[in-house]
Copies of this chain bind each other. A is one copy, B any other.
């Protein structure tokens, strides 16, 4: 039996989970693959920090270089997170020709291109299945399973915290702040929740998915991001009445334009994160709680869904273990030195800013309840050549204003922004319009 020694960087939730998973399922893994994967050394922040998974003290060090540069360490797993030191850790390991496994979506989002170039230069490889959607093997599915497909669109519920909050809000009719507090108490949300609820974590992940679907890295500043702080129980309720569920989606859409149609070349892509209305009949609407799901349309395969736990100690360990097997085989056979690894995001492409694309919309206005208001709103939309597909104006709502809900056909986002500004200036409109996109997956 061949043995491969792994150096873990990080002994917390993810690192501890990988350590325990190798301890528990290492024999199974060895029987299945013919390779014994053994943890050799573990870099931690401090010797005396509390650890749920016990790691023998003899393996611990607080110096990550002592792990990466240890000649006994064949493969490095960077499970510490962060984007500064983590980058240095990974680059150091790659330069030593050691395959690296990482779960670090923030780092890949910011520096993926450079990291893969460094791996190629050093004749080794970088694995990142755990970086998106936890244990769901979506990286392998896009890279290998769908290698023969163009991907017209891909929609992911890739942040478990947001999906948990939106599910609770829907089921309990409760407000965002209240549910966030409950989620924090239960450990579903961080004390500093911005990374999750403002959409940044989804942004990192959707950038990685876009790179796999379209073959080139999309920079974070090319990805439009809206979080879920503005989603209210009222909008969840109205969406429900209209047959929709509100989900935070990561979106990667291929949008043919004049240039791609004229030249037959690749269409530009829209990459974005926003809360959207999803038809209840669509499979993504029924993804609840902290679960993740990625809905992928391939031109050959048609519509597919991958569903599972997007975070947590064991699901993440599942993904890291699968990468460790690939990395271990790379190391044993020195594969990337002899066989150029297939880097699925080495080509070039174009990103279309969301502002230049077309969307469907749900708009909720708070208007004074008097005749003529709808006519004025409709006139603004008409002048901007935007079509209304339906209107709801609930009766008998208490207070000085009533909600007016408009469902808007495909509208150029710039025209829509202009129309919303004009509506906001109407005297009868009492608060800034609430605006959410609607996805039909057509």
Contacts and interface: CB of A to CB of B under 8 A. Distances in A.
Interface string A243-273: 0000000000000000000000000000000
Contact of A140 (B145, B150, B303, B340): B145
Nearest to A215: B32
B305 A308 contact: yes
A347 B307 CA distance: 29
Interface stretch (A98-106, A312-320, A381-389): A312-320
B145 A322 contact: yes
Given A147-B32, A150-B28, A314 B301 contact: yes
Interface in A260-303: 283, 286, 298-303
A224 to B, nearest CB: 26
A424 interface: no
B339 A299 contact: no
A39 to B, nearest CB: 14
A140 B144 contact: yes
Interface string A388-418: 0000000000000000000000000000000
B344 A339 contact: no
A34 B145 CA distance: 16
A179 B17 CA distance: 50
A363 interface: no
Given A140-B141, A215-B31, A298-B135, A25 B148 contact: yes
B305 A146 contact: no
A280 B325 CA distance: 37
Interface string A47-65: 0000000000000000000
A167 to B, nearest CB: 13
Contact of A137 (B29, B141, B321, B338): B141
A358 B329 CA distance: 41
Contacts of A25: 148-150, 299-300
A34 B315 contact: no
A202 to B, nearest CB: 20
Contacts of A321: 147-149, 300
A312 B305 CA distance: 17
A342 interface: yes
A232 interface: no
Contact of A135 (B29, B301, B314): B301
A3 interface: no
Contacts of A308: 301-305
A305 B307 contact: yes
Copies per complex?
2
A418 B317 CA distance: 46
A370 interface: no
Interface string A321-342: 1101110010011010011101
Contact of A300 (B146, B317, B338): B317
A322 B32 contact: no
A146 to B, nearest CB: 7
A134 B300 CA distance: 11
A33 B144 CA distance: 10
B29 A147 contact: yes
Interface of A: 21, 25, 28-29, 31-34, 129, 134-137, 140-141, 144-150, 215, 283, 286, 298-309, 312, 314-315, 317-319, 321-322, 324-326, 329, 332-333, 335, 338-340, 342, 344, 347
19 contacts: A21-B300, A25-B149, A28-B150, A33-B342, A135-B301, A136-B304, A140-B145, A141-B141, A145-B319, A145-B322, A146-B318, A148-B322, A299-B314, A300-B318, A302-B308, A302-B312, A305-B306, A307-B307, A329-B339
Given A34-B340, A144-B322, A329-B342, 5 more contacts: A145-B318, A148-B318, A300-B321, A302-B312, A305-B308
Counting from the closest, the 9 A-B pairs by CB-CB distance are A137-B145, A148-B321, A135-B301, A304-B308, A300-B318, A301-B318, A305-B307, A300-B314, A302-B309
